[in-house]
């Protein structure tokens, strides 16, 4: 199918509040702004989260009020939502006249929980288009409170197992929210290769399916509808294509995609191939761009404008950015779970590679996922394991027969490399590295 009739020129529904409700929101926004300023001045953080916390403490309905009246495109999934949000926001900006760029607001820093979203929205009260990265746990509330026009559902993977014990529970929350929204719900842009996404989106009023050419399938072995073991049709081991999935026990099967990725190109609804020419590396980001393209079209942006906008994205929230640490030049990559490491490891092109790992709340305390990562492909490289849980990683690398040096301190691990290095990191060390490298 082609783009819907909606265009970027169509504004959202104006926010209607009583004077008392408007006054309470204004007070909440003002207090949140002050808290964020104090947080920055005292060096405790960017202030995005504390701004949202203070706002919602003063006005519990702040998020709902700030979402109201805007055209919303939300992006969620375990992997790729930050980059996809940046790509989609850039695509929509490209569809706006330069003088109208202030019409769009996005949570570009990746603060994707209730507080972070409210914080971002409060900074752009007149923006009528919101492109919002949304944590998987927040999707149901986003559908209920924000009534997004478009909802991009990328994937489901094991992530922070101590917090999200069962990813099907998250998928069920999406499915229930879409069913409850009915005709008032969003058009879903769904990854056809993800059984949980397909199952969750069955209750949506309309779905645009995208084939992202993903090669990761270890989190999609059982049918979410009936529990049968999924089968694969027409796999191609030579190219790494796992084939289409299908359930032998019920009618759940991989849907036909209207947009797909083939050989690094995006094939649109008309069968026309487009070279995305992205500035962010990796085949998985071509898949992310295909989803962003579908969403941009639904919002009223042409294919050409959307692709031109996406080509301006270089290092979303520090991902793939190059930074200097003393005399060392390092490129930073983020991977949070087996699927993320599976996609990122082939991108490590330097002879020396630094692997940074921690297991605090933001990373997920359960490190058992390391045993599902194919670290064997790092053989022959000079590997440095760093971060608070470097010893755990060293044990896993030993079983993969990949020698490594353990240097727990991040700064020390990055010191004194004459040639550029790639750094692959979990979330918490990644944020520390951004600060050390002057990127945050």
- What residue segments make up the domains of the chain, in order of their start? 63-316, 321-436
Residue 219 CB partners (closer than 8 Å, separation 6+): 156, 157, 158, 167, 338, 339
Whole-model pTM: value is: 0.92
- CA-based end-to-end distance of the chain: 40
Per residue in 189-198, pLDDT tens? 999 999 999 9
Single out the residue of 27, 31, 25, 35 nearest to residue 61, CA to CA. 25
- What is the per-residue pLDDT for 142? 98
CATH number, span 321-436: 3.90.190.20
Per residue in 4-48, pLDDT tens? 444 677 766 666 778 899 999 999 999 999 999 999 888 887 788
> Does the active-site annotation cover 366?
yes
Which CATH entry fits the domain spanning 63-316: 3.40.1190.10, 3.40.50.10470, 1.10.287.610, 3.40.830.10? 3.40.1190.10
Q: Is there a contact between 30 and 114 (Cβ–Cβ < 8 Å)?
A: no
Pairing of strands 104-106, 129-133: parallel
- What is the per-residue pLDDT for 5? 40
> How does residue 160 score in pLDDT terms, banded at 50, 70 and 90?
very low
Supply angle C-alpha 23, 26, 31, rounded to 5: 125
Per residue in 91-141, pLDDT tens? 999 999 776 878 999 998 889 999 999 999 999 999 999 999 999 999 999
Per residue in 365-384, pLDDT tens? 888 889 999 999 999 999 99
Single out the residue of 219, 159, 165 nearest to residue 367, CA to CA. 159
> How does residue 2 score in pLDDT terms, banded at 50, 70 and 90?
very low
Q: Is the pLDDT of residue 418 over 70?
A: yes
The reply to whether 247 sits in an annotated binding site is yes
> How does residue 393 score in pLDDT terms, banded at 50, 70 and 90?
very high
Rounded to the nearest angstrom, the gap between the alpha carbon of residue 21 and the centroid of all alpha carbons in its chain is 33
What does pLDDT average to over the chain?
A: 92
**């640490």: which residue's tokens?**
325
Q: Which residues of 43-80 are buried (b: 16+ CB within 10 A; e: fewer)?
A: eeeebbbbbbbbbbebbeebbebbbbbbbbbbbbbbbb
- What is the per-residue pLDDT for 165? 55
The token pair that represents 155 in the structure block = 């994937």
Q: Which of 366, 372, 382, 392 is catalytic?
A: 366
The reply to whether 226 sits in an annotated binding site is yes
Per residue in 281-309, pLDDT tens? 999 999 999 999 999 999 999 999 999 99
The reply to whether 223 sits in an annotated binding site is yes
CA distance 406 to 409: 9
Reduced to 3 states, what is the DSSP secondary structure of residue 3?
coil
Instruction: Measure Cα distances from 342 to 75, 156, 208, 398 in Å.
Output: 22, 14, 26, 18
């Amino acid at each position: 199918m082609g783009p819907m009739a909606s265009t970027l020129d169509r504004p959202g529904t104006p926010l209607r509040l009583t004077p008392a409700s408007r006054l309470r929101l204004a007070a909440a926004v003002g207090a949140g702004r002050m808290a964020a300023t104090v947080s920055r001045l005292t060096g405790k953080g960017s202030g995005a989260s504390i701004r949202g916390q203070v706002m919602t403490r003063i006005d519990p309905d702040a998020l709902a009020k700030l979402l109201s009246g805007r055209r919303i495109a939300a992006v969620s999934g375990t992997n790729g939502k930050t980059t996809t949000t940046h790509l989609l926001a850039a695509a929509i900006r490209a569809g706006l006249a330069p003088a109208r760029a202030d019409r769009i607001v996005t949570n570009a820093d990746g603060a994707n929980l209730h507080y972070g979203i409210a914080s971002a929205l409060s900074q752009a009260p007149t923006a009528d288009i919101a492109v919002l990265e949304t944590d998987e746990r927040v999707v149901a509330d986003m559908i209920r409170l924000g009534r997004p026009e478009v909802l991009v559902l990328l994937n489901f993977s094991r992530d922070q197992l101590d917090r999200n014990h069962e990813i099907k529970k998250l998928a069920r929350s999406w499915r229930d929210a879409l069913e409850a929204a009915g005709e008032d719900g969003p058009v879903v842009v769904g990854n056809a290769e993800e059984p949980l996404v397909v199952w969750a989106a069955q209750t949506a009023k309309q779905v645009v399916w995208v084939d992202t050419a993903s090669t990761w399938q270890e989190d999609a072995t059982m049918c979410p509808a009936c529990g049968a073991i999924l089968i694969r049709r027409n796999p191609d081991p030579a190219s790494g294509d796992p084939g289409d999935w299908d359930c032998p026990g019920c009618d759940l099967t991989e849907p036909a995609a209207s947009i797909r990725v083939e050989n690094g190109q995006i094939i649109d609804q008309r069968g026309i191939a487009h070279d995305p020419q992205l500035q962010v590396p990796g085949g998985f980001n071509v898949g992310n761009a295909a989803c962003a393209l579908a969403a941009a079209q639904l919002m009223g942006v042409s294919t050409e404008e959307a692709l031109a906008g996406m080509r301006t994205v270089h290092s979303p929230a520090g991902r793939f950015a190059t930074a200097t640490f003393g005399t060392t030049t390092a490129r930073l990559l983020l991977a949070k779970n087996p699927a993320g490491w599976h996609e990122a490891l082939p991108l490590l092109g330097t002879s020396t590679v630094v692997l940074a790992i921690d297991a605090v709340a933001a990373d997920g305390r359960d490190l058992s996922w390391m045993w599902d990562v194919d670290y064997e492909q790092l053989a022959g490289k000079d590997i440095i394991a760093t971060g608070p849980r470097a010893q755990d990683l060293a044990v896993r690398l030993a079983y993969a027969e990949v020698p490594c040096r353990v240097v727990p301190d991040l700064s020390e691990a990055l010191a004194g490399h004459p040639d550029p290095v790639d750094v692959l990191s979990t979330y918490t060390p990644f944020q520390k590295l951004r600060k050390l490298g002057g990127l945050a």
